[in-house]
């Protein structure tokens, strides 16, 4: 709970210190000033009424909602009649505090359509009691006539409390919404990191696995030199995979991402038959967009290694005025599909689409049916900006 919410909760509490303090002050003042107090006659009547009014005054500390509206009105009526009787019997005038408190409390606890008539009747009752020639009071009837004025204070306090409660409820709803939004952002970030891990590891491990298969085949064929080259290429893929992991962490920290250099590095680590073409006026893309392109390139290269090992791969990066186009095309595999092609989970293309949806981009992927690259595969990405 923040400080603002704590203050609002304090002011809207049924027993906040201000209310308790006011009640205690009223009890102390009346206990020491209301006279006469005795064990017989008028003194006994004053004492009984003083005790009754003090108990009724303490009911304002009972939390709201504990009494039904009917019971609450009955308590207030007894309170008002007792206050008027006490004002007519004692001579200090301090008992008027009970009358002022009862109309103020009625304004706070009752609806305005009930509180205003109640306050008017209480004023008339108190003024009439002071006009009747009994007791030993010196209090003017005008004091009794104005006892109903405090109902306006009660109504104002009620409106203020309701406004504070509404503000408190709005603040709590806002906090809940902020928590839900933070959780959604955290889940989205987890999904993003999961895609990063998938893309980096899938690309690196698929390439390493392919090179190790080539190494094994070359060793069986007795071609040690080419087997050594394939093993060295696998080592290079491991190093580049580590570099990509470090770069992924850097991307999450919004470090600059050299897009063209990264794409060339991906091509060099996967195949000698890869080319990159950059069209349009060069410009530096935001880190998030550059990262999406790199991840799409990794997934496309991984799929090319799986489905078309040894086939040439062409990348094209085109900067247009309102968008960036990235394309990866591989030719048909020279020796037909390899067993590695069936090892995928299908999550790579799903991850690409999820990434592009987050930045408002689109991706299309499918086989090439004509031209020099017939039998191969094409991935076409368009990103606004």
State the virtual CA torsion across 241, 246, 251, 256 in degrees, nearest 10: -100
Q: Based on the fold, state whether residues 187 and 55 are members of the same structural domain.
A: no
**Does residue 152 sit within a domain?**
no
Range of weakest confidence among 208-217, 239-248, 340-349:
340-349
**Does residue 270 sit within a domain?**
yes
Task: Give the pLDDT band of residue 347 (cuts 50, 70, 90).
Answer: low
Task: Give the pLDDT band of residue 152 (cuts 50, 70, 90).
Answer: very high
How many domains in the chain?
Answer: 2
Higher-pLDDT residue of 372, 176 = 176
Q: Give me the pLDDT at residue 256, please.
A: 54
Residue 345 has pLDDT above 60, yes or no: no
Q: Based on the fold, state whether residues 282 and 370 are members of the same structural domain.
A: yes
Residue 352 has pLDDT above 60, yes or no: yes
On whether the CB atoms of residues 308 and 376 are closer than 8 A, the answer is yes
- Which stretch of DSSP H or E encloses residue 318? strand 313-319
Residue 381 has pLDDT above 90, yes or no: yes
**Does residue 164 sit within a domain?**
no
Distance CA(89)–CA(15), nearest Å, equals: 32
Of the residues 145, 163, 192, which one is the last residue of a structural domain? 145
Task: Give the pLDDT band of residue 353 (cuts 50, 70, 90).
Answer: confident
Q: Based on the fold, state whether residues 189 and 304 are members of the same structural domain.
A: yes
Task: Give the pLDDT band of residue 323 (cuts 50, 70, 90).
Answer: very high
Q: Based on the fold, state whether residues 195 and 295 are members of the same structural domain.
A: yes
Q: Based on the fold, state whether residues 117 and 214 are members of the same structural domain.
A: no
Task: Give the pLDDT band of residue 308 (cuts 50, 70, 90).
Answer: confident
Please report the DSSP string for 130-191 in residue order. HHSS-SS----HHHHHTGGGHHHHHHHHHHHHHHHHHHHHHHHHHHHHHHHHHHHHHHHHHH
* Mean pLDDT to the nearest integer, 332-342: 59
Q: Give me the pLDDT at residue 251, please.
A: 55
Of the residues 124, 145, 166, which one is the last residue of a structural domain? 145
User: In percent, how much of the chain has pLDDT > 90?
Assistant: 32
Give the tens place of pLDDT for each residue, 283-294. Answer: 888 878 888 898
Residue 9 has pLDDT above 60, yes or no: no
Nearest to 13 by CA among 79, 58, 61: 61
* Mean pLDDT to the nearest integer, 186-205: 71
Q: Give me the pLDDT at residue 6, please.
A: 56
* Mean pLDDT to the nearest integer, 153-182: 87
User: In percent, how much of the chain has pLDDT > 70?
Assistant: 83
Nearest to 362 by CA among 331, 337, 333, 325: 325
Q: Give me the pLDDT at residue 128, please.
A: 93
The burial of 138, by beta-carbon neighbours within 10 Å (0-12 exposed, 13-18 middle, 19 or more buried), is given as exposed
- Which stretch of DSSP H or E encloses residue 378? strand 377-384
Phi, psi of 140 (to 5 degrees): -70, 145
Give the tens place of pLDDT for each residue, 213-224. Answer: 888 888 888 888
Q: Give me the pLDDT at residue 342, please.
A: 43
| Residue 12 DSSP symbol | T
HSE at residue 358, side-chain half, CA atoms within 13 A, is 16
Place of tokens 């027993």: 15
* Mean pLDDT to the nearest integer, 170-193: 80
**Does residue 126 sit within a domain?**
yes
On whether the CB atoms of residues 81 and 73 are closer than 8 A, the answer is no
* Mean pLDDT to the nearest integer, 70-90: 93
Residue 237 has pLDDT above 50, yes or no: yes
What is the rounded end-to-end Cα distance, in angstroms, of the chain? Answer: 42
Range of weakest confidence among 198-207, 270-279, 324-333, 356-365:
198-207
* Mean pLDDT to the nearest integer, 271-295: 83
The burial of 237, by beta-carbon neighbours within 10 Å (0-12 exposed, 13-18 middle, 19 or more buried), is given as buried
**Does residue 160 sit within a domain?**
no
Q: Based on the fold, state whether residues 232 and 379 are members of the same structural domain.
A: yes
**Does residue 379 sit within a domain?**
yes
Give the tens place of pLDDT for each residue, 54-70. Answer: 999 999 888 888 888 89
Q: Based on the fold, state whether residues 129 and 188 are members of the same structural domain.
A: no
Residue 202 has pLDDT above 80, yes or no: no
On whether the CB atoms of residues 154 and 105 are closer than 8 A, the answer is yes
What does pLDDT average to over the chain?
Answer: 83
- What pTM was estimated for this model as a whole? 0.51
Q: Based on the fold, state whether residues 140 and 179 are members of the same structural domain.
A: no
Task: Give the pLDDT band of residue 343 (cuts 50, 70, 90).
Answer: very low
Give the tens place of pLDDT for each residue, 85-135. Answer: 999 998 888 999 999 999 999 999 999 999 999 999 999 999 999 998 766
On whether the CB atoms of residues 292 and 269 are closer than 8 A, the answer is no
Q: Based on the fold, state whether residues 250 and 315 are members of the same structural domain.
A: yes
Distance CA(370)–CA(88), nearest Å, equals: 110
**Does residue 163 sit within a domain?**
no
CA distances from 221 to 93, 147, 192, 231, 363 (A): 118, 111, 43, 15, 41
CA distances from 268 to 211, 232, 240 (A): 14, 13, 10
**Does residue 166 sit within a domain?**
no
Q: Based on the fold, state whether residues 30 and 123 are members of the same structural domain.
A: yes
Q: Based on the fold, state whether residues 45 and 189 are members of the same structural domain.
A: no
Q: Based on the fold, state whether residues 218 and 307 are members of the same structural domain.
A: yes
Task: Give the pLDDT band of residue 246 (cuts 50, 70, 90).
Answer: low
HSE at residue 146, side-chain half, CA atoms within 13 A, is 5
Q: CATH number for the domain including 207?
A: 3.30.565.10
Domain interval for residue 17: 3-145
Place of tokens 């002050």: 25
Nearest to 107 by CA among 72, 157, 33, 70: 157
């Amino acid at each position: 709970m923040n400080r603002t919410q704590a203050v609002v909760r304090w002011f809207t509490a049924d027993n906040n210190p201000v209310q308790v303090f006011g009640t205690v002050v009223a009890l102390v003042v009346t206990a020491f000033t209301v006279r006469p107090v005795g064990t017989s006659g008028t003194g006994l009547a004053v004492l009984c009424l003083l005790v009754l009014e003090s108990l009724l005054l303490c009911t304002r500390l009972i939390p709201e909602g504990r009494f039904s509206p009917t019971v609450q009105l009955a308590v207030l009526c007894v309170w008002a009649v007792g206050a008027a009787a006490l004002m007519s019997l004692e001579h200090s005038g301090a008992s008027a505090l009970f009358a002022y408190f009862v109309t103020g409390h009625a304004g706070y606890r009752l609806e305005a359509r009930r509180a205003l008539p109640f306050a008017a009747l209480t004023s008339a009752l108190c003024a009439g009691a002071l006009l009747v020639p009994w007791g030993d009071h010196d209090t003017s009837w005008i004091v009794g006539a104005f006892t109903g004025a405090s109902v306006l204070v009660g109504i104002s306090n009620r409106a203020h409390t309701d406004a504070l409660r509404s503000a408190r409820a709005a603040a709590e709803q806002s906090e809940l919404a902020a928590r839900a939004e933070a959780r959604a952002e955290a889940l989205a970030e987890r999904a993003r990191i999961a895609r990063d891990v998938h893309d980096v590891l899938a690309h690196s491990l698929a390439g390493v696995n392919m090179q190790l298969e080539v190494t094994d085949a070359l060793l069986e064929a007795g071609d040690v030199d080419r087997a050594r080259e394939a093993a060295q290429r696998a080592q290079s893929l491991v190093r580049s995979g580590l570099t990509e992991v470090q770069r992924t962490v850097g991307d999450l920290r919004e470090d600059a991402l050299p897009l063209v250099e990264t794409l060339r590095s991906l091509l060099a680590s996967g195949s000698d038959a890869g080319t990159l073409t950059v069209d349009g006026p060069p410009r530096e893309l935001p880190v998030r967009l550059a990262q999406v392109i790199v991840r799409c390139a990794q997934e496309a290269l991984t799929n090319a290694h799986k489905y078309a090992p040894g086939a040439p791969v062409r990348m094209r990066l085109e900067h247009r005025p309102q968008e960036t186009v990235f394309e990866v095309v591989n030719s048909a595999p020279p020796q037909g599909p390899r067993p590695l092609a069936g090892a995928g989970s299908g999550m790579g293309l799903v991850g690409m689409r999820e990434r592009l949806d987050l930045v408002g981009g689109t991706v299309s992927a499918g086989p090439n049916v004509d031209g020099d690259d017939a039998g191969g595969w094409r991935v076409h990405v368009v990103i606004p900006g």
